[in-house]
Amino acid sequence: SSADLLLIMLYDQHWATSPPGAITGPQWLRRTLAMRVQESGADRLVAGLPFYGYQWRTNAPTATTSYDEARRLAAEAGVAFDRDPATQSLHAVRAGADGWELWVTDAVLLDSLRREVSALGVRRVAYWRLGLEDPAVWR
């Protein structure tokens, strides 16, 4: 009761040193946020959602990437993004010695995540990090 609001970071389901995977999937978000709602109440929570992605690289450390940068990397490598059915995240893989795996948040995924947040009664949302987002989130 010493804080008016609690910002819950609902991202990094998979992180820079973990195996590749979604930044935030709807089911993971639902489980994680439901626990916080039960502990603190929905009215005190702010749901922190991701605007970014990760590029897990074969021969280099994992890098945070923007939506636009991820699209550029995939286009230059001639690989297509698919939508992971379990997490609704965009995903692309470039095979080979200098390969990489991209997992990226886009407007479609964010719509799904916001629906999960709303279904749990949380009315406030924050995003990390401005400038890395899919431009379609503002339409």
pLDDT 10s per residue in the chain (139 long)? 689 999 999 999 999 999 999 999 999 999 999 999 999 999 999 999 999 999 999 999 999 999 999 999 999 999 999 999 999 999 999 999 999 999 999 999 999 999 999 999 999 999 999 999 999 999 9
Quote the Cα angle for 131-133-139, to 5°: 110
- Indicate whether 1 belongs to any domain: no
User: Does residue 32 lie within any of the structural domains?
Assistant: yes
Does the pTM surpass 0.85? The reply is: yes
Q: What is the pLDDT of residue 1?
A: 66
Kindly report the backbone phi and psi dihedral angles of residue 87, in degrees, each rounded to the nearest multiple of 5, phi listed first: -115, -10
Residue located via tokens 């095979």? 95
What is the structure's pLDDT at 108?
A: 98
Cα separation, 37 vs 6, whole angstroms: 10
Residue 40: exposure state from Cβ atoms within 10 A (0-12, 13-18, ≥19): middle
Total domain count, the chain: 1
Q: Residue 80: helix, strand or coil by DSSP?
A: coil
Question: Which range of residues forms the domain containing residue 97?
Answer: 6-138
